[in-house]
Amino acid sequence: MPRQPAYDLADKVRVQAERSGAQEVETYLETNTTIEVRIRQGQLELLSQSAIQGLGLRMFRDRRMGFFYTTDLRETVLTELVNRTLALTNEATPREENKLPEYLASSQSDLEIYDPAVVQLRPEDLVKMARAAEDSAFAKNERIQTTRDVRCGASLYEVFFSNTFIARQTFRATSVWLAATPIATEGAQKREGTYVDRKRFLSDLARPEQIGERAAERALARLGAAAVASGRVPVVFSAEAAAIFLQGLFPALSALNVIEQRSFLAGKIGQPVAGPSVTIIDDGTMRRGLGTRYFDGEGVQTHRTVLVERGILRQYVHSAATARRMNVPATGNGIRSYDSLPTIGPTNFYIDAFSKTRPLIEDVAQGLYVNGLAGFGMDTVSGEYSQQVDGHWIEKGVLAKPVEGVTVAGRLDEMLLGIDAVGRDLDFRNNIASPTIRFKELTVGGAA
Amino acid sequence: MGIGQELRDVLNEETVNRILQEALARGGDAADLFAEQRFRTSIVLDSGKIDSVTYGYPRGGGVRVVLRNQTGYAFSDELTYNSLLDAARVASSVVETQSRANPIDVTRRTLLPPFTLVNPEPLMPEAGKLDILRRMDAAARAADPRIVSVRIEYMDDVRDVLIGTSEGIYVIDRQYLTSIACTPIAQAGGKRGSGLATLGGRIDADYFAQVSPEDAAQRAALQAVRLMEAGPAPAGPMPVVVAPGWGGVLIHESLGHALEADGIRRGTSLLAGLQGTRVASPLVRVVDDARWPNGRGSYAMDDEGAPGQRTVAVEGGILQSYLVDKQNGRLLTQKSTGNGRRMSYRNWPIPRMTNTYIDKGTSDPASLLNGITKGLYAAELGGGSVETTSGNFNFAVREGYWIENGKLTRPVRGAVLVGNSLETMQRIEGIGNDLKVETTRGTCGKDGQQVPVGVGQPTVRFSSITVGGPSI
């Protein structure tokens, strides 16, 4: 919990900055209390406890912007930082859009992002959950003899916000997570598998036994994997792989990148950009969502925004500044922490579930099922995509053999338009999620 | 004010002794205190306008207690004796035994810096920094009419650290770092390409008298234009030649991470137990060097107070040394190699690389293309990643050229290269004499902690790597 005096101090510094010549000032005070334990072979390897408190202060003078952040909340230090930053602000270029949002819309109903049960978790509770997950991974199969570790943590996060126009606003949010990474061994071969669940509410978290077991299944499934031959085949991305792919795609939907010609989706509003079963949404108001908040990092109320509707590009994602530049309503995506300026980021960002009931692999005669993605192969400026993947080879609609050491590649615009099936297995274990999706055809780079 | 004086005002030898004693009050093998104060300046110039100017002043301290493989860690954003005493108590709760520690008596040590900065760049007046950014912006725009956007990000960091350990060490250091990244975008006929130039390192202000910001910006702009025109990369295994310098991302991912002592101690790294055995072609020497001039990964001491050093990890293809921090070193009965690093006082130290490179070989770089009928020349890499358990790694190629009959032909883009560490390192069949260590870019992420690193290599030729382009 932030100490009350810190709140008052933030207000005081804001007023001081206004008196020193800033016309508009915004304060963002953030506290975060986290406990995390890591277990390995039944033993506690790490116990970490942290309490973060930091302040970010943004100032505008004659449409010029300056910003500082600090964890040192001594009054003399803050005064000096205000003066130094104001001096530096004179060097910035005036921009029409450099202006704070002037009001916060009426408060939203309870978004259920705070769970007192999470706050009450003690290290010994977390240790118990982590041990249970690890034990069930070991129990799954005798080829699981070790783990990289099992991590369990809980955090409480609180934001205090105010600006020249908006009086003190605050909210708090909790999260709890459990991540298991067992290692499967066969001969000299070792492969790890990770399964993570993260939730706002303790009661929503998957049972530790389930997490351990699923992680073990993933590690075991990778044993004996080999490359397949290069070729162009249908490729199915598992829900988790699709979510990572979607995360990589986010910058292409950012209005700032669109304005600055840094997105392959620039200028495509109203046009088909993906297969007709693809709907992409950013929803900062989803109940219990890990990306849910009452207002964004610059005091704009969060929204549900349909970005791609049945394959048609409807909107980009905005901060207050880009919304002003494009003359559209802000979408509440000014994401930040106290130590950064608001930048356009996702809240709860997902591909919506579609009504396809049969597993997506059933109609595939020969193709690749992708479970894991690694590395940086997406270029949302040029629209090129190429990434390291592992998974399974699909033969006559079933998973036939494990695959690794291969790549998948394509042009992003063609790939999205070529998504010919979307599953219904949408499950939020992160703020970015997707059901299983199928690309009609991608290039697999593998053995000769 | 003297280096670290503000930290020293709060934490002299006497207060450090008392905090460490509290940390070990319930027992434990070792404890340390890490206090940090940074001053960061960042400036973003976008489409010719100074978009934002930022100062950051984070400050705090953390206490660690270690018992065998167990670690307790707690930190405070408030840098006072009492808050660090609290952190010590919280960190000590990891220890379940009830032994008592000996009294602690820390003594100030002096450090041997890897190089000396006379007039560190971060201390330059802001006007000078802004001038460099404006010159870069103008040069990038002037390079080609198809440049439609230029973003330049400047960041500098002055980091004071104070470390006290239960071994009796008390040290204070200051580390400077400057990073500039210039990203022009070229656009024409519905095609786009982005270029990249980076400048900086742990540098003096007169760096810009030797390195022209205009030339760098112009190079980035011309790269953006080339990549806009580049064709798709091929797919499948083929001979690959990787350009010197930043190409060292390859050794960082393929062997570097697997050398880090945490995975060795846990037995989860593919290199565990392989000291003294062959892990690469006999041509390969791998060095991790915390003393490379101006390197992003260079320091006088690591974040546990151990001196930064040059470690030969692989010699003649044989694994010689791991990259060791204190805790894992104790468990492996190996000495710290000065590789215990942390992102900030909010993190506990873990073994990390510094400036890691494949050392120079004997081949004429141009000759390394000879005899390749069809292959890929990786002129500039992007980022990469590795899973140290399996050794499966990848790295992106930002700019590549198709090799035909020993000659570079058309430019290609959009490829990642994938492989398995041990197999790929055995396939090195030629190393140039043109070693270059990249000191202007490189940030490595592990366990949520980002630290600046350097990478390097001469021109290196592989008999075969799987290329993941879209064209067959």
Residues A239 and A386 in one domain: yes
A61: in domain: no
Report how far apart, in Å, the C-alpha atoms of A258 and of each of A254, A342, A345, A381, B93 are.
6, 17, 14, 9, 51
Q: Vertex A337, ends A335 and A340: CA angle to 5°? A: 90
In angstroms, rounded to a whole number, what is the distance separating the alpha carbons of residues A438 and A363?
Answer: 10
How do residues B122-140 score in pLDDT, each as one tens digit?
A: 999 999 999 999 999 999 9
Residues A207 and A240 in one domain: no
Please count the structural domains in chain A.
3
Residues A314 and A341 in one domain: yes
B37: in domain: yes
Q: Lowest-confidence range among B7-11, B221-225, B414-418?
A: B414-418
Confidence of residue B120 (pLDDT cuts 50, 70, 90): very high
Give the nearest partner residue to B416 out of A43, A47, A377, using CB atoms: A377
Residues A319 and A360 in one domain: no
Q: Is the pLDDT of residue B47 over 50?
A: yes
Task: Sort A386 into a burial class: Cβ within 10 Å, 0-12 / 13-18 / 19+.
Answer: buried
B28: in domain: yes
Chain A residues whose beta carbon lies within 8 Å of the beta carbon of residue B392: 374, 388, 390, 404-405
Cross-chain residue pair B47–A260, CB shorter than 8 Å:
yes
DSSP collapsed to 3 states, chain A? CCCHHHHHHHHHHHHHHHHCCCCEEEEEEEEEEEEEEEEECCEEEEEEEEEEEEEEEEEEECCEEEEEEECCCCHHHHHHHHHHHHHHHCCCCCCCCCCCCCCCCCCCCCCCCCCHHHHCCCHHHHHHHHHHHHHHHHHHCCCEEEEEEEEEEEEEEEEEEEECCCCCEEEEEEEEEEEEEEEEEECCEEEECCEEEEECCHHHCCCHHHHHHHHHHHHHHCCCCECCECEEEEEEECHHHHHHHHHHHHHHHEHHHHHCCCCCCCCCCCCECCCCCCCEEEECCCCCCCCCCCECCCCCECCEEEEEECCEECCCECCHHHHHHHCCCCCCCEECCCCCCCEECCCCEEECCCCCCCCCCCCCCEEEEEEEEECCCEECCCCEEEEEEEEEEEECCEEEEEEEEEEEEEEHHHHHHCEEEECCCCCCCCCEECCCEEEEEEEEECEC
Cross-chain residue pair B74–A50, CB shorter than 8 Å:
yes
Residues A312 and A435 in one domain: no
In angstroms, rounded to a whole number, what is the distance separating the alpha carbons of residues B247 and A171?
Answer: 46
pLDDT for res A1: 42
Pick from B343, B301, B294, B300: which is nearest to B58 by CA? B343
B101: in domain: yes
A399: in domain: yes
**For chain A, what is the mean pLDDT?**
94
pTM: 0.95
Closest B-chain CA to A266? B190
B129: in domain: no
φ/ψ region of A74 (left if φ > 0, alpha if ψ in -120 to 50, else beta) reads: beta
In angstroms, rounded to a whole number, what is the distance separating the alpha carbons of residues B222 and B433?
Answer: 27
pLDDT for res B101: 65
Q: Does the CB of A387 have a partner CB in chain B at under 8 Å?
A: yes
In angstroms, rounded to a whole number, what is the distance separating the alpha carbons of residues B146 and B223?
Answer: 12
**For chain B, what is the mean pLDDT?**
95
Q: How many CB pairs under 8 A join A and B?
A: 261
* Stretch 248-287 of chain A: residues touching chain B, C-beta under 8 Å: 260-262, 264
Residues A240 and A367 in one domain: yes
Residues A358 and A212 in one domain: no
Residues A339 and A371 in one domain: no
Residues A241 and A294 in one domain: no
In angstroms, rounded to a whole number, what is the distance separating the alpha carbons of residues A234 and A43?
Answer: 44
pLDDT for res B96: 76
Cross-chain residue pair B418–A70, CB shorter than 8 Å:
no
Residues A378 and A406 in one domain: yes
Express as a percent the part of chain A with pLDDT over 90. Answer: 92
Q: Are B339 and B260 in contact, with CB atoms under 8 Å apart?
A: yes
Task: Sort B98 into a burial class: Cβ within 10 Å, 0-12 / 13-18 / 19+.
Answer: exposed
Q: Does the CB of A89 have a partner CB in chain B at under 8 Å?
A: yes
pLDDT for res B102: 76
> Which of residues A334, A349, A364 is at a domain's end?
A349
Complex-level ipTM:
0.93
Task: Sort B97 into a burial class: Cβ within 10 Å, 0-12 / 13-18 / 19+.
Answer: exposed
Residues B268 and B417 in one domain: yes
Confidence of residue A358 (pLDDT cuts 50, 70, 90): confident
Chain A residues whose beta carbon lies within 8 Å of the beta carbon of residue B79: 72
Q: Vertex A327, ends A324 and A332: CA angle to 5°? A: 55
Q: Does the CB of A388 have a partner CB in chain B at under 8 Å?
A: yes
Q: Is the pLDDT of residue B362 over 50?
A: yes
What's the length of chain A? 448
Q: Is the pLDDT of residue A103 over 90?
A: no
Structure tokens of B190?
């519905």
> Which of residues A349, A371, A393 is at a domain's end?
A349
Cross-chain residue pair A148–B466, CB shorter than 8 Å:
no
Q: Does the CB of A98 have a partner CB in chain B at under 8 Å?
A: no
* Stretch 175-204 of chain A: residues touching chain B, C-beta under 8 Å: 183, 189-192
Chain A residues whose beta carbon lies within 8 Å of the beta carbon of residue B127: 91
Cross-chain residue pair A71–B60, CB shorter than 8 Å:
yes
Range of the structural domain that residue B370 is part of? 235-468
Q: What is the mean pLDDT of the segment spanning B153-160?
A: 98
In angstroms, rounded to a whole number, what is the distance separating the alpha carbons of residues A256 and A340?
Answer: 17
Q: What is the mean pLDDT of the segment spanning A412-427?
A: 96
Pick from B445, B390, B63: which is nearest to A184 by CA? B390
In angstroms, rounded to a whole number, what is the distance separating the alpha carbons of residues A444 and B416?
Answer: 12
Q: What is the mean pLDDT of the segment spanning A301-329?
A: 96
Give the nearest partner residue to B50 out of A43, A93, A375, using CB atoms: A93
In angstroms, rounded to a whole number, what is the distance separating the alpha carbons of residues B26 and B309?
Answer: 34
How close B151 comes to chain A (CA, Å)? Answer: 9
How close A91 comes to chain B (CA, Å)? Answer: 7
How do residues A360-385 score in pLDDT, each as one tens digit?
A: 999 999 999 999 999 888 999 999 99
How do residues A61-82 score in pLDDT, each as one tens digit?
A: 999 999 999 999 999 999 999 9
Task: Sort B438 into a burial class: Cβ within 10 Å, 0-12 / 13-18 / 19+.
Answer: buried
φ/ψ region of A134 (left if φ > 0, alpha if ψ in -120 to 50, else beta) reads: alpha
Q: Is the pLDDT of residue A350 over 60?
A: yes
Q: Which residue has the tokens 């070193």?
A: B329
How do residues B284-336 score in pLDDT, each as one tens digit?
A: 999 999 999 999 999 999 999 999 999 999 999 999 999 999 999 999 999 99
Residues A360 and A327 in one domain: no
pLDDT for res B100: 65
A300: in domain: yes
Confidence of residue A58 (pLDDT cuts 50, 70, 90): very high
In angstroms, rounded to a whole number, what is the distance separating the alpha carbons of residues A8 and A29?
Answer: 11
> Which of residues B60, B86, B108 is at a domain's end?
B108
Cross-chain residue pair B394–A390, CB shorter than 8 Å:
no
How do residues A30-44 score in pLDDT, each as one tens digit?
A: 999 999 999 999 999
A19: in domain: no
Could you tell me which residues come within 8 angstroms of residue B399 by beta carbon, excluding any fewer than 6 positions away?
B223, B226, B227, B230, B378, B379, B380, B411, B413
A226: in domain: no
DSSP collapsed to 3 states, chain B? CCCCHHHHHHCCHHHHHHHHHHHCCCCCCEEEEEEEEEEEEEEEEECCEEEEEEEEECEEEEEEEEECCEEEEEEECCCCHHHHHHHHHHHHCCCCCCCCCCCCCCEECCCCCCCCCCCEHHHCCHHHHHHHHHHHHHHHHHHCCCEEEEEEEEEEEEEEEEEEECCCEEEEEEEEEEEEEEEEEEEECCEEEECCEEEEECCECCHHHHCCHHHHHHHHHHHHHHHHHCEECEEEEEEEEECCCHHHHHHHHHHHHHHEHHHHHHCCCCCCCCCCCECCCCCCCEEEECCCCCCCCCCCECCCCCECCEEEEEECCEECCCECCHHHHHHHCCCCCCCEECCCCCCCCEECCCEEEECCCCECHHHHHCCCCEEEEEEEEEEEEEECCCCEEEEEEEEEEEEECCEEEEEEECEEEEEEHHHHHHCEEEEECCCEEECCCCEEEECCEEEECEEEECCEEEEEEEEECCEC
Q: Is the pLDDT of residue A359 over 90?
A: no
Q: Are A177 and A197 in contact, with CB atoms under 8 Å apart?
A: yes
Q: Are A4 and A22 in contact, with CB atoms under 8 Å apart?
A: no
How do residues A223-266 score in pLDDT, each as one tens digit?
A: 999 999 999 999 999 999 999 999 999 999 999 999 999 999 99
> Which of residues A349, A377, A394 is at a domain's end?
A349
pLDDT for res A2: 46
Structure tokens of B151?
């973003």
pLDDT for res A400: 96
Q: Lowest-confidence range among A39-48, B1-10, B127-136, B207-216?
A: B1-10
Cross-chain residue pair A40–B235, CB shorter than 8 Å:
no
CATH code of residue A190 = 3.30.2290.10
pLDDT for res A153: 98
Beta pairing, strands B169-188 & B191-194 = antiparallel
Q: What is the mean pLDDT of the segment spanning B340-345?
A: 98
Please count the structural domains in chain B.
2
Residue B229 has phi, psi (to 5 degrees) of -90, -15
pLDDT for res A6: 80
Sign of the dihedral through C-alpha B166, B168, B172, B175: negative
Range of the structural domain that residue A123 is part of? 116-154+176-221
Q: Are A410 and B472 in contact, with CB atoms under 8 Å apart?
A: no
B184: in domain: no
A390: in domain: yes
Chain A residues whose beta carbon lies within 8 Å of the beta carbon of residue B40: none
Q: Are A361 and A347 in contact, with CB atoms under 8 Å apart?
A: no
Task: Sort A283 into a burial class: Cβ within 10 Å, 0-12 / 13-18 / 19+.
Answer: buried
How close A444 comes to chain B (CA, Å)? Answer: 7
A55: in domain: no
Pick from B24, B174, B27, B15: which is nearest to B83 by CA? B15
Q: Does the CB of A53 have a partner CB in chain B at under 8 Å?
A: yes
Letter for the amino acid at A114?
Y
* Stretch 267-296 of chain B: residues touching chain A, C-beta under 8 Å: 267-268, 270
Sign of the dihedral through C-alpha A12, A18, A22, A27: positive
Residue B414: strand pairing partners:
none
B137: in domain: no
pLDDT for res B190: 87
Report how far apart, in Å, the C-alpha atoms of B366 and of each of B245, B250, B430, B432 are.
16, 20, 11, 8
Residues A134 and A213 in one domain: yes
A54: in domain: no
Cross-chain residue pair B185–A261, CB shorter than 8 Å:
yes
